[in-house]
Amino acid sequence: MSENNFLDELLAEAEVKDEKRTSAFFDLLVMEVAKLEGEISDNFSEMEKEIEIIKEWALKRNSVIQERANFLKLKLESYIREEGKKTIDLPHGTLKIRKMPDKVEITDLSLFLSKANSEMLNIIPEQVKPDLSKIKSFIKMTTKLPEGVTLIEGKEEFKLTLKNNSKEETEE
pLDDT digits (tens, 9 = 90+) for 80-92: 999 999 999 999 9
State mean pLDDT over 110-122. Answer: 82
The whole-angstrom separation of Cα 80 and Cα 66 is 21
Q: Give the model's pLDDT for residue 167.
A: 47
pLDDT digits (tens, 9 = 90+) for 50-75: 999 999 999 999 999 999 999 999 99
State mean pLDDT over 155-162. Answer: 84
Per-residue pLDDT at 147 exceeds 70:
yes
The whole-angstrom separation of Cα 158 and Cα 136 is 24
Q: Give the model's pLDDT for residue 115.
A: 81
Which helix or strand (DSSP H or E) is residue 159 part of?
A: strand 156-164
Q: Give the model's pLDDT for residue 83.
A: 93
Write down the pTM of the prediction. Answer: 0.51
Cα angle, residue 116 at apex, residues 115 and 122 outer, rounded to 5°:
150
